[in-house]
Amino acid sequence: MASQRVAVVTGANKGIGFGIMKELCAKFDGIVYLTARDEGRGKAAQAELNKLGFSPKFHPLDIDNQASIDKFAEYIKNTYGGLDVLVNNAAIAYKNAATEPFGEQAVNTVRINYFATLALCHALFPLLRPHARVSHVSSCVGFLGKVNGDEPQAAALREKFSSSSLTEEECGNLMNQFVKAAQDGNWKELGWGSSTYAMSKVGLSALTPIQQRAFDADTRADLVVNSCHPGYVDTDMTSHKGPLTIEEGAVAPSYLALLPPNISEPKGAYIWKDTTPVDWVNGPLPGNGY
Ligand SMILES: NC(=O)c1ccc[n+]([C@@H]2O[C@H](COP(=O)([O-])OP(=O)(O)OC[C@H]3O[C@@H](n4cnc5c(N)ncnc54)[C@H](OP(=O)(O)O)[C@@H]3O)[C@@H](O)[C@H]2O)c1
């Protein structure tokens, strides 16, 4: 068991995560774990993949629950001794029509999309084996330019996020500052954008080069992390308004998960739905921006 290669996809029971499962089951040379916060939904998705001739494994994983993260990490460690691919796909987004106060939306969105993803990284990164690949599913709204509140405060925030010496702690502090501003009602004056989802994804995109710098300094060879925009996809999150299929949305996240050994790029990068690298700081965003 310990010599088998292992891939893990979060939030894999539906939507783009399910599309990524199909792609990895077809192309990854090892075991693929479908993880989901709800066991019933996860096992139903596993059964769907079985019908397609794939044999993924299932394990419960709620990234918003530290005990669930710890249990999963322990299980992977004890069963396989390491991990080769992690796709951080799980996320939430409030609908435009949501009536919860902006501050509450910020608390929950940043907690799950940024801090819970980071908590899973903290638990699983020690298990990564040489040549491991980490794929963060960010978004077109995770582009730095989406920090677009009042100037010059927005420019000052963008400068902090894009600093090549930004630390994980500082990035977390910025996320917490956004949440506080959202609760205080002065986020726009302080430079922040007006979407809690976008700000959470900016944080995830900013975390990516920070994590790559740590990987570059790691004794394990060739650890690579990137983030991507999967495209505007027909899923529950978009109320099925996105034009792309989940298979099309799975292209970029799966490409990052399956990057071959010893590549020189992309590393710590932000890539578009068609896998082209995008300058996260200066853009431009390809096509119509989504
Ligand atoms: N769809 C798009 O157009 C689009 C565009 C840009 C980026 N994205 C990103 O792509 C990724 C997938 O989005 P999607 O459109 O496929 O969304 P979706 O259909 O809403 O699926 C989200 C998945 O994440 C899971 N999830 C949510 N909270 C979780 C938690 N605490 N622990 C574990 N799993 C959790 C959900 O589980 P449940 O089924 O239990 O709720 C579900 O499996 C997200 O990161 C999203 O931000 C999507």
Indicate the pairing of strand 31-36 with strand 57-60. parallel
- Looking at the CA of residue 197, tell me the nearest atom of ligand 1: 47
Q: Does residue 197 line the site of ligand 1, with CB under 6 A?
A: no
CA dihedral 46, 47, 50, 54 (to 10 degrees): -10
Q: Which of 226, 240, 229 has its CA nearest to residue 141?
A: 229
**Plot region of 75 (φ>0 → left; ψ -120 to 50 → alpha; else → beta):** alpha
Mean pLDDT (10-residue bins), the chain, 290 residues: 87 98 98 98 98 98 98 98 98 97 98 99 98 98 98 98 98 98 98 98 98 98 98 98 98 98 98 98 92
Q: Does residue 16 line the site of ligand 1, with CB under 6 A?
A: yes
What per-residue confidence (pLDDT) applies to 288?
84
Nearest protein CA to atom 43 of ligand 1, as residue: 11
End-to-end CA distance of the chain: 41
Amino acid present at 68: S
Cα(24) to centroid(ligand 1), Å: 17
How far apart are the C-alpha atoms of 40 and 283, rounded to whole Å? 41
Quick one: fold of 6-93+112-143+200-278? Rossmann fold (3.40.50)
What per-residue confidence (pLDDT) applies to 2?
56
Q: Does residue 241 line the site of ligand 1, with CB under 6 A?
A: no
What per-residue confidence (pLDDT) applies to 1?
55
Backbone angles phi, psi at 32, to 5 degrees: -115, 125
> Do 105 and 98 contact (CB within 8 A), yes or no?
yes
Q: Does residue 68 line the site of ligand 1, with CB under 6 A?
A: no
Best mutation site among 9, 10, 16 for ligand 1 pocket (most ligand atoms within 8 Å of CB): 16
Instruction: Name the one residue in this structure whose structure tokens are 């499962």.
Output: 21
Cα(237) to centroid(ligand 1), Å: 7
Amino acid present at 6: V
Q: Does residue 253 line the site of ligand 1, with CB under 6 A?
A: no
Token pair for 1: 């068991």
Cα(152) to centroid(ligand 1), Å: 33
Best mutation site among 9, 34, 37 for ligand 1 pocket (most ligand atoms within 8 Å of CB): 37
Angle between helical axes of 196-216 and 102-110 (0-180°, round to 10)? 20
Residue spans of the domains in the chain: they are 6-93+112-143+200-278
- Looking at the CA of residue 38, tell me the nearest atom of ligand 1: 40
Best mutation site among 14, 23, 246 for ligand 1 pocket (most ligand atoms within 8 Å of CB): 14
What per-residue confidence (pLDDT) applies to 63?
98
Helix ranges (DSSP H) in 217-290: 246-249, 251-257
Cα(88) to centroid(ligand 1), Å: 10
Mapping DSSP onto H, E and C, the string for 226-241 reads: EEECCCCECCCCCCCC
How far apart are the C-alpha atoms of 86 and 104, rounded to whole Å? 29
Indicate the pairing of strand 277-278 with strand 270-271. antiparallel
What per-residue confidence (pLDDT) applies to 290?
87
Q: Does residue 218 line the site of ligand 1, with CB under 6 A?
A: no
Catalytic residues: 197
- Strand pairing partners for 134? 86, 225
Q: Does residue 19 line the site of ligand 1, with CB under 6 A?
A: no
Cα(205) to centroid(ligand 1), Å: 16
Angle between helical axes of 196-216 and 168-184 (0-180°, round to 10)? 170
Q: Lay out the sheet containing 270-271: strands in order across.
A: 57-60, 31-36, 6-9, 83-88, 128-137, 224-228, 270-271, 277-278
